[in-house]
Amino acid sequence: MQRGYEALLGCLSAGVIVGIIAVLCHIRRRASKFKPSRKDIEVTLASLEYEETTCKPMSIKDIYTATENLSPSNVIGQGIAGKVYRGVLANGWPVAVKHIVKNEHAGTFLREVTSLSHVRHPNLVSLRGYCDGQEEFFLVYELCINGKDKNLSWIQRLQIALGSACGLWFLHIYPEGCIVHRDIKPTNILIGVDMEPKLSDFGLSRVIDLGVSHVSSEVRGTFGYVDPEYRHNHKVNAAGDVYSFGMVLLQLLSGKRAINIMNTAMPMSLDKMASTLIQDGNVLDFADPRLNGEYSTEAFDLSLKLALSCTGHKKQRPSMEQVVSRLEKALEISMRDDSKHNSISIIKSLA
């Protein structure tokens, strides 16, 4: 009987090892899908002729029919330029329709049409169409949900961070010039039907021509996510997006606001809070309590240090390619540790 039990455990252990190896192989395959290689970009560009048939001019009648005459019950968001409505096109596509009503926001309309109609990536929201009226404009996107109210697991948070980073990397190495988003924040990262993150809202984006290090611009963006160096020198470049992404990553790790607005006398940013905890040796105190300790401490430490490197001095910040590589490592570590934990639990339950 004892020998039979030992044989069972032996077979189970061998099966667990095989399972772990299979999981790691699956992780590598999944991680590789996130990487926007030069070949991926060429394929994306080659498919533009087909894809652009989904981004076309629409009439006011199309817009009003899709949104039930801009029904208040279909409002799903509110931005500086106007409201966002849920709608359904005549071909059955569910969409989000951004209504730009003020003349001073015409630039937002033109930038988004220019940026999104020619750019396709799994981690970018697709622009389906647009309507150019005399006094109002409409932008029609694929419909995504916003995952800010979900209690995300550690693995889901890493996957959202990784997918978002891949979208930014794709923009920064775009062949026609580096596209700087300029407004990376949680509310501009939408979640697709399969929980894939998609960057949205390109109203502030700028394109930097090849061979040019930066462009000068008035300071735009959202308080708490704007690069301090950009606020000082007004130079737009990819490093500003890296800073903003670092702040988003800190929020994913901690579940806290970018700025501690509860202390109005001396508000503290998340990067300063994290740095202080690291200096005191209390790194894990930064973790979101809603994770209930269910995360890889090694991957958490790696991700936290990565986030702080993103928010550090501009010359020391990693590129988005390096960010993607480190997040892939954190995800691989987490999946490996999660598999080990599950395997141990199974063995204990059978012992």
84-139 pLDDT, tens per residue?
Answer: 999 999 989 899 999 987 666 677 777 777 766 778 899 999 888 889 877 788 99
Average pLDDT over residues 261-268: 58
Instruction: Identify the helix (H) or strand (E) that includes residue 329.
Output: helix 320-350
Average pLDDT over residues 318-345: 86
* Residue 187 Cα to chain centre, angstroms: 10
Residues 137 and 234 in one domain: no
Query: Domain containing 192 — which CATH number?
Result: 1.10.510.10
Q: Answer yes or no: is 296 within a domain.
A: yes
User: Residue 81: which domain range?
Assistant: 44-142
The count of structural domains within the chain is 2
Residues 112 and 236 in one domain: no
DSSP-assigned letters across all residues of 181-219: -S---GGGEEE-TTS-EEE---TT-EEE-TT---EE---
Residues 157 and 104 in one domain: no
- In sequence order, the 6+-apart residues with CB closer than 8 A to the CB of 244 are 181, 183, 184, 185, 221, 225, 226, 227
Residues 132 and 153 in one domain: no
**Could you give the percent of the chain with pLDDT greater than 90?**
45
Query: Are 101 and 133 in contact, with CB atoms under 8 Å apart?
Result: no
Give the separation between CA 327 and CA 245, rounded to whole angstroms.
12
Residues 238 and 127 in one domain: no
Q: Answer yes or no: is 31 within a domain.
A: no
DSSP-assigned letters across all residues of 244-273: HHHHHHHHHHH---SB-TT-SSS--BHHHH
Query: Are 186 and 251 in contact, with CB atoms under 8 Å apart?
Result: yes
Spatial CA neighbour of 139 closest among 177, 90, 97: 97
Residues 173 and 99 in one domain: no
273-283 pLDDT, tens per residue?
Answer: 899 888 888 88
Average pLDDT over residues 312-335: 95
Spatial CA neighbour of 133 closest among 109, 104, 111: 109
Predicted structure pTM score:
0.77
> Which of 117, 142, 167 delimits the end of a domain?
142
Residues 65 and 202 in one domain: no
Residues 116 and 255 in one domain: no
Give the separation between CA 273 and CA 258, rounded to whole angstroms.
10
Query: Domain containing 132 — which CATH number?
Result: 3.30.200.20
Residues 121 and 260 in one domain: no
Catalytically active residues, by annotation: 183
Give the separation between CA 66 and CA 61, rounded to whole angstroms.
8
Residues 151 and 136 in one domain: no
